[in-house]
A and B are shown apart, each in its own frame.
Chain A
Amino acid sequence: MRDEILWQLVLGFAAISLVSVGGGIAVLPEMHRLVVETHQWMTDAEFARRYALAQAAPGPNVLVVGLLGWHVAGWVGMLVATISMTLPTSLLAFGFAKFRKRMAGKAWLKVIERGLVPVAVGLIAASGLILARGAATGWVTGALAIASTIFVWRTNYSPLWVLVTGALVGLAMGV
């Protein structure tokens, strides 16, 4: 049973990793499908909270998979999910490093890069909406989500302020 879950983590995240255009945040909708919809390992709200917890840690955003894996299968799940998400793309990059000189600065590479950007941005927006659906359930949290959207969009302050404010408002709600 446990082995079966670990294999589901390996196959699920390795597959997501290989289509992760635009890095960690853009694939959140697909991670949500895997852990919330397909396997129902956690709820919408739990998913949003895992993501929030991962934001409190530094490092590449893909590492959120560690917390999802941990929720599903403890420490082993955390390790398995993280390796499944990072190893396939790292191997691919290792293979492509050979062609680096030949690819570098090529016009067609720029065109592909430019073409992928709008897809990645659209997917990031979808990720935010999915997180908001899980996290912004009341009017206080809804207002918080809208306010932080506007803050990050319109100012150049560090987004960490948004998280600190969210924590303080959350604490005040709890009192």
Chain B
Amino acid sequence: MAEAAPSSTVTPTRADLFFGYAKIGLLGFGGVGAWARRVIVEERRWLTERDYAEVLGIGQVLPGPNVGNAAVMIGRRFHGLAGALLATSGIYIGPFCVLMLLAWAYQTYGQMPAVAPFMQGIAAAAAGMVIGMAAKMTSKLRPPPEMIAVGLAACGAAFWWRLPLPLIVAILAPVSIVLAHRRLPPAVRRAA
């Protein structure tokens, strides 16, 4: 089934928006992307698969976390400003409270001799996790050579040359968008 009929989607109440997004936030260990799709499309059926992908696509193009941007747009769509506020606070408040607890624990126990190497071990693993994530995204996307060059340039500019992010984005994003456009089949290219 490519796309569900419109009648199969459910309009969330204001409370649904808050609690649905609170669930997404609190379950989202290592990122909320996978859970957001699962809760919104599969479990609660607020949006169809295609609808959600479209909202997420716009969220991706705007600055900020794509799932957070999608929360604002989905909240607004169902309940206006109140909906946007409820969905957004739902996704941020739970994890924020957990972070407060962690910050407190770190402040209280962080100086203990056993905690420093413990945190150092997690930090080293987390660093590798981020590099591994970039490597995995690259292998999955199998980008053409010019896109790999753009990625390497962004990485080098941020890590070795320490250029400011606005400058990196201002230079590389237009170049990369033009390159992406050139890769499209001619028929699609005319439409874009």
**Residues of chain A whose beta carbon lies under 8 Å from any beta carbon of chain B:** 15-25, 27-30, 33, 37, 45, 48-49, 51-63, 66-67, 70, 75, 78, 82, 86, 88-90, 92-94, 96-97, 100, 103-105, 107-132, 134-137, 141-142, 144-153, 158-160, 162-163, 165-171, 173-175
Contacts and interface: CB of A to CB of B under 8 A. Distances in A.
Contact of A119 (B84, B117, B150): B150
Contacts of B77: 97, 100
Residue from the set A24, A120, A147 with the largest chain B CB neighbour count within 10 Å: A120
B40 interface: no
A132 B154 contact: no
25 contacts: A23-B65, A48-B126, A48-B127, A53-B102, A53-B119, A60-B91, A63-B92, A89-B63, A90-B88, A93-B64, A96-B62, A108-B192, A111-B181, A115-B179, A117-B137, A118-B150, A119-B176, A125-B134, A130-B159, A144-B128, A145-B127, A153-B135, A160-B29, A162-B128, A174-B118
Contact of B121 (A58, A103, A124, A141): A141
A62 B68 contact: yes
B1 interface: no
A150 B132 contact: yes
A70 B127 contact: no
Contacts of A24: 65
Contact of A158 (B30, B84, B95): B30
Nearest to B114: A174
A117 B28 CA distance: 22
Contact of A128 (B60, B62, B128, B152): B128
Interface string B55-70: 1011111111111111
A62 to B, nearest CB: 5
B136 interface: yes
B172 A49 contact: no
Interface string B130-147: 111111111101010001
Contact of B124 (A109, A125, A141): A141
A63 B153 CA distance: 27
Interface residues of B, number: 101
Contact of B61 (A30, A67, A112): A112
B10 interface: no
A113 B57 contact: yes
Given A51-B123, A53-B102, A124-B133, 13 more contacts: A24-B65, A30-B164, A58-B32, A59-B26, A78-B100, A90-B88, A94-B84, A97-B72, A104-B55, A120-B154, A125-B155, A126-B157, A135-B124
| Dominant SS among interface residues on chain B | helix
Given A94-B76, A115-B176, A126-B154, A173 B165 contact: no
Complex A-B, nearest 10 residue pairs according to Cβ-Cβ distance, in ascending order: A170-B121, A59-B95, A166-B125, A89-B64, A122-B154, A152-B132, A148-B128, A115-B177, A128-B131, A128-B130
A165 B125 contact: yes
Interface string B31-75: 110000000000000000000001101111111111111101100
A25 B130 contact: yes
